[in-house]
Amino acid sequence: MTSRGENVTFHDKKWTQAFLGNREDLPHNLYGTWNVSMLDDEDLAQTIHLHLQSLGPYIRAQDIVDFIKLPETLAQFKLKKPISLATAQRWMKKIGYRWTTTPTGQYVDGHERPDVVNYCQNIFLPSWMSIEERTRKWTADFVDEVGEQPHNRRTVVWFHDESTFYANDRRKLRWVHKDEKAVPRAKGEGASLMVSDLISADYGWLRSPDKTKEARVIFKAGINCEGYFTNEDILKQATTAMDILAEYYPHEDHKLVFDNASTHLMRSGTALSARHMPKNTKAVGEFWGADLPVLDNDGKQVYQRDKSGKLTRKPLKRKVPMDDTRFKDGSPQKLYFADDHPTHPRCFKGMAVLLAERGLVKESKLRYECPGFKCKPGATSCCCRRALYTQPDFVAVESLLEAHCQSRNFGVLFLPKFHCELNFIEQCWGSAKRKYREFPASSKEADLGKNLISSLGMVSLVSMRKYACRAQRFMHAYHEGLNGKDAAWACKKYRGHRVIPSFLLANLDKPNA
């Protein structure tokens, strides 16, 4: 030790004695800490972060390099030289950026649209809250039922939706060895099958207890295949569903929930509608009415022919009288003048006459309609069409699906537009597709159908109830006045709760919450 110098010997003796006295109190080696990263300067890190935010969502590590080498940046932070691209890439990770896909959330183009919010708050949510107390509640493990039995019959809510499975839908993220070579793969999405089904948190997929009957419909969608799911197909599926429920689950009330698609909201061809009504009374011999498609003996659409006799893609239609309506007192209001009318026999009255007959004389003198029928939000008497369009009897016209289900005492509820988070079947589709991607790859349609059915059967009832609980949290959040952004945050934070805690909702109303 003496050859190493007296100073080294002194410290060795001091450290040895300290170690023998307390073997837990070890000295720290400061090697490697003499230099610190320039990014440890909080002002520099904050300035870089603000600069990247100003560039928009598509930023690069090279943007940091270019920013640092600016003379004003070097002078401001007293830097001696610019940085390399590799250093900038390390800095990107250090300040919280990751190279990944853009996170997706709710559709904001219509989610907070005034008419959508109005329907959600004033029609859908009150209807849901009125039946929720009669639905089943589950324990924390989503296995056993909890809560008191309702005084009335149980209500089971069935959610409907469609989804498409593709043969070439495979997993794209996995651990890949560095020596693994690229292999040929199928081009495009491959064959597809569309599945339409109903589901409840009580029983799962809608089928009989012995699984011999089910409401599920699987078909090949496309113009060159089996066509597309029409309103007639929806009515047939609803009939099958109601038959199963009436036969096997007669001791409960059932509510069928559909999304707000035009296929589901389709009304009768002669249903009351002010959308295309003329303002003034039509002349004698000029008939106005609803357009109905002309069908052949097999029930198929007949198409128009051009002057040369060649078939076109334009469907052939015929004019029929529109359905009459009623005044507020329940007495009938005819849309057409009587056959013995002195000046306009059998002629359509027009919107002006219809409004005047209802006592809306001022509205009957308004202009025909606002340009493009794009009236100001909340307006009800800006034009003739809007005044008649917002009348209660015109608004309350039932869809074919509602009338069909209610004729058999089954309730129908339509989800708000752009609110897929309220339909828990969407997560069931996602779970099933994740299972589908684990099957061996195959482009055969037979394998597609077999794997599709198997993957749907692998979605457990417990998972379905978890997804349903998540959808209920969103409903309660919206019912308390939260918007889409706040509701998404609250539902994620309190994902272990069936409803959002009341104290959280109260705190969100406070300033700076």
29 vs 73 pLDDT, higher one: 73
Please indicate, yes or no, whether residues 405 and 260 belong to a single structural domain of this protein: yes
> How many CA within 13 A on the CB side of residue 38?
20
Using pLDDT thresholds of 50, 70 and 90, give the confidence band for residue 23: confident
Please indicate, yes or no, whether residues 416 and 501 belong to a single structural domain of this protein: yes
Note whether residue 118 is domain-resident: yes
**Strand 253-258 and strand 411-414: pairing?**
parallel
Q: Which pTM value belongs to this model?
A: 0.76
Please indicate, yes or no, whether residues 261 and 121 belong to a single structural domain of this protein: yes
Please indicate, yes or no, whether residues 299 and 251 belong to a single structural domain of this protein: no
pLDDT of residue 62: 94
Please indicate, yes or no, whether residues 344 and 457 belong to a single structural domain of this protein: no
Per cent of the chain over pLDDT 70 is 93
Note whether residue 178 is domain-resident: no
pLDDT of residue 1: 43
Using pLDDT thresholds of 50, 70 and 90, give the confidence band for residue 391: very high
- Calpha distance 372→349 (Å, rounded): 23
- Calpha distance 256→200 (Å, rounded): 10
pLDDT of residue 276: 92
Q: Which H or E run contains 444?
A: none
Res 447 pLDDT > 70: yes
Please indicate, yes or no, whether residues 411 and 336 belong to a single structural domain of this protein: no
Chain-centroid distance of CA 401 in Å reads 21
- Calpha distance 152→157 (Å, rounded): 15
Please indicate, yes or no, whether residues 233 and 358 belong to a single structural domain of this protein: no
Sign of CA dihedral 218, 435, 257, 214: positive
Stretch among 104-108, 276-280, 332-336, 352-356 having the lowest mean pLDDT: 104-108
Sign of CA dihedral 434, 438, 441, 442: negative
Res 244 pLDDT > 80: yes
Please indicate, yes or no, whether residues 388 and 363 belong to a single structural domain of this protein: yes
Label residues 103-130 b or e (16+ Cβ within 10 Å = b).
eeebeeeebeeeebbebbeeebbeebee
Identify whether the C-beta of residue 95 lies closer than 8 Å to the C-beta of residue 39: yes
- Calpha distance 490→156 (Å, rounded): 26
pLDDT of residue 2: 46
Please indicate, yes or no, whether residues 128 and 250 belong to a single structural domain of this protein: yes
Structure tokens at 236: 């047939």
pLDDT of residue 253: 96
Domain end position, chosen among 396, 413, 431: 396
Q: Is 300 helix (H, G, I), strand (E, B) or coil?
A: coil
pLDDT in tens, 249-292: 999 999 999 999 999 999 999 999 999 999 999 888 889 999 99
- Calpha distance 513→510 (Å, rounded): 6
**Strand 204-205 and strand 192-200: pairing?**
antiparallel
Note whether residue 60 is domain-resident: yes
Note whether residue 98 is domain-resident: yes
Using pLDDT thresholds of 50, 70 and 90, give the confidence band for residue 25: confident
Please indicate, yes or no, whether residues 130 and 257 belong to a single structural domain of this protein: yes
Who contacts 25 (Cβ-Cβ below 8 Å, separation ≥6)?
Answer: 18
Who contacts 183 (Cβ-Cβ below 8 Å, separation ≥6)?
Answer: none
Note whether residue 179 is domain-resident: no
* pLDDT, mean over the chain: 88
Res 416 pLDDT > 80: yes
- Calpha distance 448→302 (Å, rounded): 35
pLDDT of residue 4: 63
Boundaries of domain holding 98:
32-104
Note whether residue 513 is domain-resident: no
Note whether residue 279 is domain-resident: no
Note whether residue 242 is domain-resident: yes
> How many CA within 13 A on the CB side of residue 449?
8
Please indicate, yes or no, whether residues 392 and 427 belong to a single structural domain of this protein: no
Please indicate, yes or no, whether residues 256 and 123 belong to a single structural domain of this protein: yes
pLDDT in tens, 88-125: 999 998 888 888 877 776 666 688 888 899 999 999 99
Closest CA to 463 of 133, 143, 159: 143
Identify whether the C-beta of residue 319 lies closer than 8 Å to the C-beta of residue 290: yes
Res 219 pLDDT > 80: yes
Structure tokens at 405: 């289900």
DSSP states along 461-491: HHHHHHHHHHHHHHHHHHHTT--HHHHHHHH
Closest CA to 79 of 39, 119, 49, 115: 39
CATH number at residue 164: 3.30.420.10
Identify whether the C-beta of residue 501 lies closer than 8 Å to the C-beta of residue 494: yes
Stretch among 83-92, 181-190, 266-275 having the lowest mean pLDDT: 181-190
Who contacts 333 (Cβ-Cβ below 8 Å, separation ≥6)?
Answer: 324, 325, 326, 327, 354, 357, 358
64 vs 493 pLDDT, higher one: 64
Number of domains comprising the chain: 3
Domain end position, chosen among 396, 421, 446: 396
Chain-centroid distance of CA 81 in Å reads 51
pLDDT of residue 188: 83
- Calpha distance 436→448 (Å, rounded): 9
DSSP states along 217-228: EEE--BTTTTB-
Domain end position, chosen among 396, 411, 429: 396
As a residue count, the chain comes to 513
